[in-house]
Chains A and B, each alone.
Chain A
Amino acid sequence: MRLIFDIALTHISGRGRQTIVAMLGVAVGVGFSIAMAALMQGGQDDFVRQLVDTMPHVQVTDEHRTARRQPAEDLFDAAAISGLRPRDDRRGIINPTAALSWIGGWIPGRFAATLKSQGVMRYSGQEVGAVVIGIDPQAEPSVSPIIGDFKAGSFAALAAGGNNVVIGDTMASRLGAKLGDTITAVSSEGLSRRFKIVGLFHTGTTARDEGETYVLQKNAQILSARPNAINEINIKLDNPNAAPTVARRIEAELGYKAVAWQEANESILEALVVRNVIMYTVVAAIMLVAGFGIFNIISTITHEKARDIAIMKSLGFTEADMRVLFVLEGVAIATAGTLLGWALGFTMVYALSLVHFEISTTGREMTRLPIAWSTLHYLIAAAFALGTAAVAGYLPARRAARANPVDIIRGAA
């Protein structure tokens, strides 16, 4: 084996320039594959992390997945009722205290109940449509997606006496109101109530910054004339991956629709799978190109060394020896290329990680490219490179090993 290796080395070093070109081909392929994987994986991780951070891991609402069974269906076997929609129940989640204490009994994480309703905010003649969210200022921060985005005030300020509200900065500017001003909330039931702005947030999501308003749960219940009602329970789990299991258990027990974040984002998560398939296809394509370089050089060497192959066979080398020889040459070039490609990939990923850019026109949001550092990317790129090289070396090697030495020796004499 050592002998075959020595011979392989003489062959590839004898074709220095071509070897270097083939090696660079592999290096560029491996390097770019690594950089691309780091970017794609980084983007994906970042995206999923944002999903997991900003969404409740499980959201229980006062809806049902299927319409309630109708009395007629209970009475008559033949009765089939279609086209029913689940009814909006003004009472929200029935028996909320029992439901919450049952959830509190076993859930590995935190949760908070809210009452969400539609309304309008008014200030000095301006009107903006709003989702009025009634929260518990103690429980909400542990599940709230906006908790890190306060520009002024906080949820705690809601409880500070009087009727208070927290709104987004975009809504504030559309209303022309600022911290400390008193705005009027009007519910879809036609009830109105005045609230003092005690907090402003900016999440970067326009729908939130312009549409969400937070008040105490009690105030939301009064405003919508639904005493003691809640219609949403948001749950954050210690382990986000447990969400589907938790959701299934809640739904089975309470009967209300419980949606895990994975379900809520199913189509997005599917798109990520497609993205990965595309990425590996591109990696395979890049490696195929690198493989051509190797195929090219190994073919050249087998032709150039046809005489040496014949003489080695006459000395007692087997066809398998000759195949191993050329596959080894291909793999050796790919190995050198892979090492170089690792260095190249690492450098590119590092360089990318240094890139800053500004998204917002105001220049406030400085962002870095999302980058994933993963040894797996290096190993996958290497596996692709070495696998391609083995095939690219094997094809000409098989041909060369089979050739009849007599024909070559006759021709060369």
Chain B
Amino acid sequence: MNTLIETKDLTRILREAVPVALVRDVSLSIGEREFVAVTGPSGSGKSSLLYLLGLLDRPTDGTVTIRGRDTALMDEDERAAMRLVNIGFVFQFHFLLPEFTARENVEIPMRKLRHLGRNEMRQRASDLLAALGLADHLDKRPDQLSGGQRQRVAVARALANDPPLILADEPTGSLDSQSSEQVFMILEKLVREQGKTVIAVTHDLEMASRMDRRLHLIDGRLTMGAATGDFRSTHEP
């Protein structure tokens, strides 16, 4: 299996009056087509780890390597370009731009990247939304959609530029169980059918158990799941 993203001794310390270690010495390697759960108690650094993996935050120490490229050497613009092409984020809260319709929101990353023509972008946005069961909601603005629908639009937006890596921070955290299940199945299908790598933070151990692999964090340290094939999620900590 090809490695997609790798970290070595990844550490993020907040330099406050009393320094706070968000993530400590995390070394891991995640391959293509992996469906990875990140678990741990609240405040254990799951979100912090995800921000580092997604190049939204810079580590205090250690490295993140994506597709063989060391991101520590990149400037902000290169990191932004990397996010645009290789990474799709889904957050707990949908974070759609409120003034734009579902389709327009999905088009935004494509319009930024500009690999497609105007009509192709429209078509792709419609297709992505339709595949997530939103064919009837293309022209609705976020405030006209339910929580589950918004989250699916956010997933479609994350997929807009067809990135190999999807990072999801408690994507079902604010949804009812039915919507949660729906979004979970969508993420699972991305891995199984489209060959994406999905790394998702979740509190739901039942969900985590249905994923390929589980990274467990306590106080910013990885306690299991460092390498591919390590600790399958069937092994409880």
Contacts and interface: CB of A to CB of B under 8 A. Distances in A.
Nearest to A407: B57
B13 interface: no
A404 B97 contact: no
Contact of B99 (A10, A313, A413): A10
B117 to A, nearest CB: 13
A311 B95 CA distance: 7
A316 B57 contact: no
B132 interface: no
Given A3-B111, A316-B112, A412 B47 contact: no
A315 B84 contact: yes
A14 interface: yes
B97 A412 contact: no
Contacts of A7: 97
B14 to A, nearest CB: 11
Contact of B89 (A307, A314, A319): A314
Contact of B81 (A3, A14, A316, A319): A316
B56 interface: yes
Contacts of A14: 99
A404 B100 CA distance: 24
A156 interface: no
B111 A307 contact: no
A139 interface: no
Contacts of A73: none
A14 B143 CA distance: 15
Contacts of B84: 315-317
Contacts of A312: 97, 108
Contacts of A3: 108, 111-112
A304 B99 CA distance: 13
Nearest to A316: B84
B91 interface: yes
Nearest to A9: B99
A321 B83 CA distance: 14
A315 B92 contact: no
Interface string A389-410: 0000000000000001110011
B51 A317 contact: no
B62 interface: no
A2 interface: yes
Interface of B: 47, 51, 54, 56-57, 76-77, 80-85, 89, 91-93, 95, 97-100, 108-109, 111-113, 157, 161, 169
18 contacts: A3-B112, A7-B97, A10-B100, A308-B97, A312-B97, A315-B84, A315-B109, A315-B157, A316-B85, A316-B109, A316-B112, A317-B80, A317-B112, A319-B77, A404-B57, A406-B51, A412-B95, A413-B169
